[in-house]
Structure 1
Amino acid sequence: MTSRLIDESLFESRESADGEPPRLVGARCSGCGTVVFPRQDSCPRCSDGVMAVRVLPVSGRVWSWTLQAFPPKPPYRAPVGGHRPYHVGYVDLGEVLVEALLAVPRAEIRIGLPVRLTTVPAYRDEDGTEVLTFAFRPERDGER
């Protein structure tokens, strides 16, 4: 089975040889230091600096979360079998909050939970290709 990332521009372009998921990339303003995700061409804070690619940390903490109980508006594509509720939240990566799927069981999810970047299936293309998106899962003790 083949797979692809949902949007290559969200990820670092290098291939991971160690089995780790690709890292997220945002941008950092040279003028005021603001970090954004996804990347932007201009700074939302000062609009003066040059935006440079910034590879984001793979670990963070759940800042806030909710249950997405109904299908989002297009361009959302439901997985095979239709929409199933899922957790979504903001993950604090230190320099920036990233909105993401949370691959965390309901019994474990809480504000402040340490989480780590992963990829999860989003849907299948018409040709059967599995399309992967980024998410955060609980971080295990001792992970780096």
Structure 2
Amino acid sequence: MTTRLIDESLFDGADPPRLVGARCTGCRTVVFPRQDSCPRCSDGAMAAHVLPDSGEIWSWTVQAFPPREPYRPPAEGHRPYALGYVDLGEVLVEARLDIARRRIRIGLPVRLTTIPAYLDEDGTQVLTYAFGCDAEDEG
């Protein structure tokens, strides 16, 4: 099956992919996703900044109802999923959590991964970013 990333601009092009945010050249604030101006100082230019591939869960919830567009439910329909903020040190990233709900806790170490988001019209499996953990870290 052919796969592609949901939005190439979110990633660095490496294998495995890493998320790319932006860092202000003035005040050093880091954001994700990238943006053209700094939300803190509005003075510096924003430069691409590859984010760490691991962090810890800062907060989380369950997305029980389908989000608004551009969300595309999988072929079998929307199923509730875990969603959280992951603390990567310089920035909090909102992401799907690829972890059994009973195992999720604030402070749990997690690592960047990709998971299926939906099938494109041509049968391509579209992948999105998520954070998961090793089985030994889930306990």
TM-score, with structure 1 as normaliser: 0.92
Deviation of 1:139 after TM superposition, in Å, equals 3.9
Deviation of 1:80 after TM superposition, in Å, equals 1.2
- Distance of 1:56 and 1:140 partners within structure 2: 23
- Distance of 1:101 and 1:107 partners within structure 2: 15
- Distance of 2:36 and 2:86 partners within structure 1: 23
Residue of structure 2 in register with 1:13 after alignment: 13
Q: Say which of 54, 58, 65 aligns to 2:53.
A: 58
- Distance of 1:23 and 1:45 partners within structure 2: 24
Q: How does 1:32-43 map to 2 (within 5 A)?
A: 32-43=27-38
Q: Say which of 88, 94, 97 aligns to 2:92.
A: 97
Q: How does 1:76-115 map to 2 (within 5 A)?
A: 76-115=71-110
Residue of structure 2 in register with 1:126 after alignment: 121
1:59 touches 1:139 (CA, 8 Å); kept in 2? no
Deviation of 1:141 after TM superposition, in Å, equals 5.8
TM-score, with structure 2 as normaliser: 0.95
1:44-102 CA distance string (max 9 Å, x none): 11000011110000000000000000000111100010000000000000000000000
- Distance of 2:70 and 2:136 partners within structure 1: 37
Residue of structure 1 in register with 2:133 after alignment: 138
Deviation of 1:138 after TM superposition, in Å, equals 1.2
> Which residue identity does 1:7 align to in structure 2?
D
Q: Say which of 29, 42, 45 aligns to 2:40.
A: 45
Aligned residues, how many?
137
- Distance of 1:93 and 1:140 partners within structure 2: 20
- Distance of 1:23 and 1:10 partners within structure 2: 8
Distance change >3 Å, CA 53–CA 141, structure 1 → 2: farther
Distance change >3 Å, CA 139–CA 48, structure 1 → 2: farther
Superposition misfits of 4+ residues, deviation over 3 angstroms: 139-142
Task: Decide which structure has greater helix share.
Answer: 2
Unaligned runs of 5+ in 1: none
1:8-66 CA distance string (max 9 Å, x none): 0000023x2xxxx3000000001101000000111011000011110000000000000
Unaligned runs of 5+ in 2: none
